[in-house]
Amino acid sequence: MTTTLTRSWNTEFEQQTLNKLFAQYTPHIPPIREYDVTPPNTKEEKSNFYNYWAVTAGHYLFIVQAASKAILLIRDPDLYLLLSRQIGDDGTHTLAFRERVIAVTGRDPIDDVCKEAEYHWEFMGDVPDRNWLGFIAVELHYKHHILPTVVVNSRTSKINDDELVEKSASVFQPDEARHRQAIANWWRKQYEKASPDEKAELAAQLLELDEEVQQRRNHYIKKRWLDARRATGAKTLGIEPVYDAWRQEVISYFLDIPNPKLSSVS
Amino acid sequence: MTATLTRPAWTTDLEVEIFDKLIDKHAPHLPKTRLSDPRPPATEEELENFCRFRIAGAAHDLFIVQVCAKVIDQIPDLELQLFLSRQIGDDGAHAQNTRQRVEALSGHDPIKDIQKQVQKHWDYIGDLPIRNWQGFLAFELHYELHIVALLLLNNRTSKINDPESGKFAKERILPDEAFHRLGVVDWWQRKYDQASPAEKAELVAQALEADEELQRLRNPYLKEHWELTHRAIGAEIVVLPGIYDAWRQEVLSYFLDIPISKLPKLVSVND
């Protein structure tokens, strides 16, 4: 519990790095939210709202399932404890999205949420439970690499549910920040203990898996950006370089590699 | 959730009502409420016993985390998956709090001892909780519902406790656990309601069989754990076997909707 890490992940690092990247690549994205959201009104807006948030709930359900499957791949009670918290939180998020979709549209999205989680299993294949590093790569993509997308959505969406916006700021995002921090610091603890040879091997394997997951997710990520624009009006256009650069920063932090060569989401 | 119940909903009030009835029958000399506040462990021996007891509690919680995580995607019921994700999160948080309290009291992180104790659960239980839904249901019944008799008795008769742990238990653990018990009842009720009359009888028979199997597997562990409970916090355990058996009968009678007089003779904790 009291291991001293040479680098420790925190929200300041996230904010400073992201603000720098947004300023560099997407100056049209403001550093804070500039206007209130309006609730979905027309039939089309409500239908988009239903689809977008049912899909978001499916994302959370998938990570609940993946983390549960992976929890016993690694015999480390520290990891059990931090993942148990993540699983509990993500289940709560899934439920929260489901409830708001019901409140706003009158339809229970439960079947679509399940279908979406199944869709993630289709494109992710066996990576989440192939081995413990596969699961870490999944965590990286679902918790860390996704951050610029989450930030852009939360700052720039125009059509949204007030309660979801409030909950996102007060519950979901602080939870997610804790998950990123917990998994990053857990990883660093393992990584810093390793011998130079082991480190090189771990780095090579994780890099390869992270790239594999990127390939598997490319199509989905681009569709999500498009859907966000359509459903909520979020300014996701042109976000690709921020995504790529942020992912480089994450990998660089995890593996102590200054400028890792990675494939692009584009 | 579903309103087909022909009996009162399972609530903490109902639990206390049933438990008091059993106390009247099996241990009328015991008080119905706590008579004096517990005190913190005082001697080194008391502290050591108390920490061992708490480590066993954390292991119970961490074992639940591991079982539920293994099961979550094997049962294609989204409501159950979401309920289990909450149970995993809660029980992980309870284990983490206990770990931190033991570290504060004893000066060392007990995580390795906790994991060792988790392994003892796996050793005695084998694959029963993760074998099929029957095994998992029996696991939930034993780890969340049958255990309530012990918890209520501890709550009324223990003499030693750590005030910080007591506060966390009252504010967080007790409400969480009550929610878990409801979640298990709801899951079973959904399953039961969807079955045809012939299937219903089969479901009940299978649930009962698995619950009995787990009772047999769990008996040595329970006896050992009760001894530790008595040593560490001074809780009453002499009357516990009789109360435990009767409580389990009540739970199964409610759960399976069979009057106690129609239940088969159950395995006893003394068997």
pLDDT tens-place string over residues B98-131: 999 999 999 999 999 999 999 999 999 999 999 9
Higher pLDDT, A36 or B136: B136
Give me the helix-helix angle, B44-71 and B133-140, nearest 10°. Answer: 150
Query: A79 CB contacts (<8 Å, ≥6 apart)?
Result: A71, A186
- Structure token pair of residue A258: 């200054």
Query: A60 CB contacts (<8 Å, ≥6 apart)?
Result: A90, A91, A93, A94, A97
Contacts of A1 in chain B (CB under 8 A): 103, 109, 111
User: Which residue in B has a C-alpha nearest to residue A96's C-alpha?
Assistant: B82
Quick one: pLDDT band at residue A1, thresholds 50, 70, 90?
very low
Instruction: Inspect the interface and report whether the beta carbons of B66 and A80 lie closer than 8 Å.
Output: yes
The reported pLDDT for the residue numbered B1 is 43
Contacts of B62 in chain A (CB under 8 A): 77, 80-81
Quick one: pLDDT band at residue B36, thresholds 50, 70, 90?
confident
Quick one: pLDDT band at residue A2, thresholds 50, 70, 90?
very low
pLDDT surpassing 90 at residue B261: yes
- A171 in contact with chain B, both atoms CB, cutoff 8 A: no
Quick one: pLDDT band at residue B3, thresholds 50, 70, 90?
very low
Quick one: pLDDT band at residue A33, thresholds 50, 70, 90?
confident
- A85 in contact with chain B, both atoms CB, cutoff 8 A: yes
Whole-number Å distance between alpha carbons of A215 and A264: 9
pLDDT surpassing 80 at residue B2: no
Give me the domains of chain B, ranges plus CATH numbers: 38-262 (1.20.1260)
User: What single letter denotes the amino acid at residue A79?
Assistant: L
Closest CA to B259 of B4, B1, B6: B6
Q: What is the mean pLDDT of residues A140-167?
A: 95
DSSP label of A31: S
Closest CA to B185 of B250, B137, B245: B137
Q: What is the mean pLDDT of residues A248-263?
A: 94
pLDDT surpassing 80 at residue B194: yes
Query: A100 CB contacts (<8 Å, ≥6 apart)?
Result: A53, A161, A163, A164
Instruction: Inspect the interface and report whether the beta carbons of A80 and B92 lie closer than 8 Å.
Output: yes
Burial of residue A103 (number of CB atoms within 10 Å: 0-12, 13-18, 19+): exposed
The reported pLDDT for the residue numbered B8 is 86
pLDDT surpassing 80 at residue A4: no
* Substitution target from B88, B113, B121, B190 for chain A, most A beta carbons within 10 A: B88
Instruction: Inspect the interface and report whether the beta carbons of B86 and A85 lie closer than 8 Å.
Output: no
Whole-number Å distance between alpha carbons of A135 and A185: 15
Quick one: pLDDT band at residue B6, thresholds 50, 70, 90?
low
Q: What is the mean pLDDT of residues A143-167?
A: 95
Instruction: Inspect the interface and report whether the beta carbons of A87 and B89 lie closer than 8 Å.
Output: yes
Nearest to A84 among B88, B112, B118 (CB): B88
pLDDT surpassing 50 at residue A64: yes
Q: What is the mean pLDDT of residues B267-271?
A: 95
pLDDT surpassing 80 at residue B56: yes
Contacts of A83 in chain B (CB under 8 A): 69, 92
Quick one: pLDDT band at residue A8, thresholds 50, 70, 90?
confident
pLDDT surpassing 60 at residue A185: yes
User: Which residue in B has a C-alpha nearest to residue A86's C-alpha?
Assistant: B89
Whole-number Å distance between alpha carbons of A134 and A111: 28
Nearest to B73 among A68, A77, A113 (CB): A68
pLDDT tens column, A97-146: 999 999 999 999 999 999 999 999 999 999 999 999 999 999 999 999 99
CB-based contact B196:B75 (threshold 8 Å) = no
Nearest to B81 among A64, A72, A78 (CB): A64
From residue A167, give the alpha-carbon distance in Å to each of A13, A120, A161, A242.
23, 25, 10, 25
Question: Would the ipTM clear 0.95, i.e. be above it?
Answer: no
Whole-number Å distance between alpha carbons of A122 and A115: 10
pLDDT surpassing 80 at residue A3: no
Instruction: Inspect the interface and report whether the beta carbons of A85 and B89 lie closer than 8 Å.
Output: yes
Contacts of B68 in chain A (CB under 8 A): 68
CB-based contact A47:A38 (threshold 8 Å) = no
